[in-house]
Amino acid sequence: MSSFLSDTLSNPRVQLLATAAVSGVTVAGLILGFQALEREERLSELKNSIPRLPNNEDDGSKRLNGFGTSSETGLDPEDARNIALAKRAQAGDFDEELILEQLARNQVFLTPEGLKKLRDSFVIVVGCGGVGSHAAATLARSGVSNIRLIDFDQVTLSSLNRHAVATLADVGTPKVQCLYRRLIAIAPWIKFDLKQEKFDESVAETMLAPWEGRKPDFIIDAIDNIDTKVALLKYCYDRDMPVISCMGAGCKGDPTKIVIGDIGTSKDDGLSRATRRRLKLLGVTSGIPVVYSTEQSGEGKAELLPLPEEEFQKGSVGDLGVMANFRVRILPVLGTMPAIFGLTAANHVILRITGYPVSYVPGKARERMYEGILTYVQGSEEKLGRMFVPGLTGLKNPLTLGDVAFMTEELYSGRSILSGIPTKLVLIRWKKPVTSSVSRIGEGKDEQKCSTIRLQDLVCMTKEEATRHEKEIFKADKALEELYDDETIKRVEAKMREAEKYEWWRQ
């Protein structure tokens, strides 16, 4: 073995390859190191370009490092005073008359009993950007005395067009710290629980846990990431935790179109559509209030734009972000719209906690329709199954009401794929199975019989169209081409491919 290694290592070709490999690793390391150093230099240049006071007028603010924190211990004198006052106020050393005078207008509107409920409440705000910061600021100004702020991100220069309280001096600081710093100056008696972490399903139990023995009275979802938003809403829905979700404020410009309604009614923006679809696949079809806009896109209006390559070439994209290149698309946002979304969500929370009468857009109340469609699928699958298993009984169906809601409302937009008719809708297989449509596990009395139906097998038709389809395709064994034209078949196949993409999200 040692002789083999010696001969191999002495081979000129092997030595050449080894040298090339080491050189490649070295060059790669140098390139990555250079890129990291270049990023740090750009980061420093951007932050240092923010004007500071002359030395003799320096406010003592902490100078930030590349991670948005500080190695200095000095505090702005005003911040130090606010923190000291907040500690006293939260310990009970604050005149109650001053608090009531500050909240006097709220007390007149909500009644003393309503204001007391608000002051005793605990609210969680998940996401402290443009929407969440305005929601949190309004809750603080209105009297909510226990607020948990959750956000992993930092204030960037681009945040300043829509953030409720951030200033140039806050660029690079955690958003939760920025909010805390400003809001205790407004209402020092409020207790804040700061969570500078990224919310996801794995930390939901900890992030939404009781605080000082009190469960949250309400949760505001101000997240702009679909995966995270869906995880939060599903967690709250399953545990009956009061939550309101803010949908997309990007590309919106008409404040009169912002409404509150059930998750089943939300529409007309990509975030609400994607969230609604994913939730339906998880079995959540209604029961969550959301803030959304009914504004339609149109010629001349802002749209989601790809990040131009030339911006990457400049080398400064996202340098003040918490993660390099975290956002790879530019979302046009008018600064007023996130504020209105956040204020609307906070308004809902305040009224709900205090018991003030509210009346919003009703849900579609389509649950009975979904149940009827699911029953139709069950019957259709049983009849189809008996073609392969004579005398079949007890067939189980893997579809849920959420699956039916998704297919009917989201994929087929509540219309027949054949005629566009929106009434008396059902779901039915498009193609007759080549082999058995029934899977069988076990034997005898323990045997389980289940339909093999998948989302991509189904199409939406009226009941009359489905009866004809079943008679001609399933029973008479006609080809699809004999019954439908090429355009219809292509349209259906496109929908089936789209449905296949969503199978992954089902649980």
| Of the residues 297, 327, 354, the one at which a domain ends | 354
The predicted pLDDT at position 71 comes to 35
Separation CA 203–CA 301 (nearest Å) = 38
Are residue 294 and residue 394 in the same domain, yes or no?
no
What are residue 195's DSSP bridge partners? 150
Give kind and range of the element (H or E) at residue 218. Answer: strand 218-221
The predicted model gives 280-287 an average pLDDT of: 88
pLDDT of residue 327: 45
Q: Are residues 309 and 431 in the same domain?
A: no
CA angle 422/424/429 to nearest 5° reads 95
Q: Are residues 206 and 81 in the same domain?
A: yes
* pLDDT range class, residue 17, cuts 50, 70, 90: low
Q: Do 135 and 269 fall into the same domain?
A: yes
The confidence band for 18, taking pLDDT boundaries of 50, 70 and 90, is: low
Are residues 320 and 376 located together in one domain of the fold?
A: no
- What band does 7 get if pLDDT is binned at 50, 70 and 90? low
Cα–Cα distance, 59 to 120 (Å, whole number): 36
Nearest to 106 by CA among 141, 146, 147: 141
Counting residues of the chain whose pLDDT is more than 90, the rounded percentage is: 49
For residue 274, the model assigns a pLDDT of 84
Whether 20 is covered by a domain: the verdict is no
Q: Report the pLDDT averaged over residues 60-81.
A: 53
Residue 28 within a domain: no
Within 8 A by CB and 6+ apart from 194, the residues are: 148, 149, 176, 177, 180
- pLDDT given at position 41: 64
User: How many domains does the chain fold into?
Assistant: 2
Query: Tell me, what's the pLDDT at 477?
Result: 93
**Torsion of the alpha carbons at 253, 256, 262 and 263, rounded to the nearest 10:** -10
Decide: pTM greater than 0.85. Answer: no
Q: What pLDDT does residue 333 have?
A: 84
CA distances from 39 to 49, 192, 293, 323 (A): 15, 34, 38, 12
455 assigned to some structural domain: yes
- Cβ atoms of 329 and 323 within 8 Å: the answer is no
Report the pLDDT value the prediction gives residue 46, as an integer from 0 to 100.
53
Rg, the chain, Cα only: 30
Under 8 Å between Cβ of 142 and 106 = yes
Residues 375 and 429 in one domain: yes
Q: Name the nearest CA neighbour of 260 among 156, 386, 361, 151.
A: 361
Same domain, 349 and 383: no
| CA–CA distance, 319 with 12 (Å, rounded to integer) | 46
Residue 37 — pLDDT band, cuts 50, 70, 90?
low
Q: Let me know if residue 97 belongs to a domain.
A: yes
Residues 342 and 387 in one domain: no
Quick count: other Cβ atoms within 10 Å of Cβ 315? 12
* Mean pLDDT for all residues in the chain: 82
Helix (H) or strand (E) holding 342: helix 336-354
What SS3 string covers 22-73? HHHHHHHHHHHHHHHHHHHHHHHHHHHCCCCCCHHHCCCCCCECCCCCECCC
Q: Taking a C-beta distance cutoff of 8 angstroms, is the pair 150, 172 a contact?
A: no
Do 335 and 272 share a domain, yes or no?
Answer: yes
Task: Tell the burial category of 159 from Cβ atoms under 10 Å away from its Cβ (0-12, 13-18, 19+).
Answer: buried
- Quote the tokens at residue 1: 């073995």
Q: Determine, yes or no, domain membership for 34.
A: no
pLDDT of residue 13: 60
Residue 257 token pair? 């179109």
Tell whether 360 is covered by a domain.
Answer: no
Q: pLDDT tens, 71-98?
A: 333 467 888 888 888 888 888 888 889 8
Q: Which of 354, 379, 405 is the last residue of a domain?
A: 354
Decide if 154 is inside a domain.
Answer: yes
DSSP letters for 439-507: EEES-GGG-EEEE---GGGEEEEEHHHHHHHIIIIIIS---HHHHS-HHHHHHHHHHHHHHHHTGGG--
On the CB side of 88, how many CA atoms lie within 13 Å of its CA? 11
Same domain for 324 and 424?
Answer: no
Sign of the torsion angle spanned by Cα atoms 98, 342, 344, 365: negative
What 3-state DSSP class applies to 99? helix
Name which residue leads in pLDDT, 392 or 13. 392
Q: Are residues 243 and 377 in the same domain?
A: no
Specify the pLDDT at position 440: 86
Cα–Cα distance measured from residue 155 to residue 419, given in angstroms and rounded to the nearest whole number: 51
For CA atoms 238, 240, 241, 243, the dihedral sign is positive
Contact 164, 119 (CB under 8 A): no
Helix axes 270-281 and 226-238, enclosed angle (nearest 10): 50
- Domain carrying residue 139: 55-354
- Residue 16 has what pLDDT? 58
**Angle, alpha carbons 338-341-345 (nearest 5°):** 140
Could you give the CA distance from residue 70 to residue 93 in angstroms, rounded to a whole number? 30
Let me know if residue 46 belongs to a domain.
no
3-class SS of residue 258: strand
What is d(CA 264, CA 410) in angstroms, rounded to the nearest whole number?
Answer: 10
Phi, psi (rounded to 5 degrees) for 23: -65, -40
Give residues with Cβ within 8 angstroms of 16, minimum separation 6. Answer: none
pLDDT tier at 6, thresholds 50, 70, 90: low
Inform me whether the pLDDT recorded for 399 exceeds 80.
yes
Q: Among 178-192, 370-384, 442-456, which is the least confidently predicted range? A: 442-456
Where among 329, 354, 379 does a domain terminate? 354
Least confident interval from 86-90, 158-162, 326-330 = 326-330
pLDDT at 100 over 70: yes
For residue 227, give the CATH number of its domain. Answer: 3.40.50.720
Task: Check whether residue 389 and residue 500 sit in a common domain.
Answer: yes
Residue 214 is predicted with a pLDDT of 93
